[in-house]
Structure 1
Amino acid sequence: MRFVPASSRFLGFCALAATALGVAACNSGSSAQPQIPLTIVNEVLFLTDQQNSALRFDNGAVYHKGGLRGLIVVRQNAGSYLAFDRTCPYQPQDTCARVRIEPYLRLFDPCCQSQFGFTGQPQGGPATLPLRRYSTALSGNTLTITN
């Protein structure tokens, strides 16, 4: 049997207790605002398609299939695109919690009146969390959206 000094056992116990408290604190906060359920996203969007013509301009945005309630894709600039789930993070279980595009102005959930900028950050209304963001990869005129 190996001898472990009492001070090492105490430090190990403190680290374990701190971790447990941190996890408990995170879990207790999640009940206050429900999480958006995870879903697999693996979509391809062709920038040359006519239905994606709004993505030819900065802050242009389009709807695309995928995600929980659909995706919103936003062009930041010619080489940078963002993709968000349309599910509003404020009460995402509500069937009407679906974000819409107000062209070149903002993203908006008419159900709870939450407003979001084109980076997905909340700008008004009751939502305090940003829109769920997915990874994007640009190759030529093809944008791949994944999580």
Structure 2
Amino acid sequence: MTISGLLPACNSSGGDAQPQIPLAAVNEQLILTDQQNSALRFDNGAITIRGGVRGIIVVRQNASSYLAFERNCPYQPLDTCSRVKVEPFLRLYDPCCKSQFSFTGQPEAGPATLPLRRYSTALSGNLLTITN
């Protein structure tokens, strides 16, 4: 009986919490030497690929380190236009809410305060595997 009296207090929330990005299984492979991935031959080069919820952004940090992010912006992720785009060698941005992100996925401007969802990457020779 005392447990049911505690449930409303545990269930109360501020009401202004942002919805979370939906989950999607990610298991993608990129051959880095393919011409379509040529932007990944340079540090801070980025491409978008299919996968995830609204696509995946792949960023080269250096020849042996790559980052992969969900394209679904963390600010109001359920909006149909909430999709981060690549402005080559400058930034990642969501034209819908005007949020901007660094090439490490951190928010830099706009209303977004959360970083982009990051996926795991593993490099084996010229094959980059992206998973969650």
Same-fold call, TM cutoff 0.5: yes
Q: Which of 124, 128, 131 is the aligned partner of 1:139? A: 124
SS of residue paired to 1:28? coil
Amino acid at match of 2:68: A
Aligned residue for 1:66?
A: 51
The percentage of aligned residue pairs carrying the same residue is 76
Distance 1:139 1:127, change over 3 A: same
Give the paired residue count.
124
Aligned residue for 1:11?
A: none
Aligned residue for 2:29?
A: 44
* Structure 2 unaligned regions, length at least 5: 1-5
Aligned residue for 2:62?
A: 77
Which whole-Å deviations, capped at 9, do the CAs of 1:87-115 have from their partners, x for residues lacking one?
00000000000000000000000000000
Higher helix share: 1
Q: Which TM-score applies when normalising by structure 2?
A: 0.89
Aligned residue for 1:96?
A: 81
Aligned residue for 1:32?
A: 17
Distance in 2 separating the partners of 1:117 and 1:87:
15
Distance 1:113 1:139, change over 3 A: same
Q: Which TM-score applies when normalising by structure 1?
A: 0.80
Aligned residue for 1:15?
A: none
Shift of residue 32, structure 1, vs aligned partner = 1.1
Distance in 1 separating the partners of 2:78 and 2:121:
26
* Structure 1 unaligned regions, length at least 5: 1-19
Structure 1 stretches (4+) deviating beyond 2 angstroms? Answer: 27-31
Distance in 2 separating the partners of 1:53 and 1:65:
16
Aligned residue for 1:87?
A: 72
- Root-mean-square deviation over aligned CA pairs: 1.7
Shift of residue 28, structure 1, vs aligned partner = 3.2
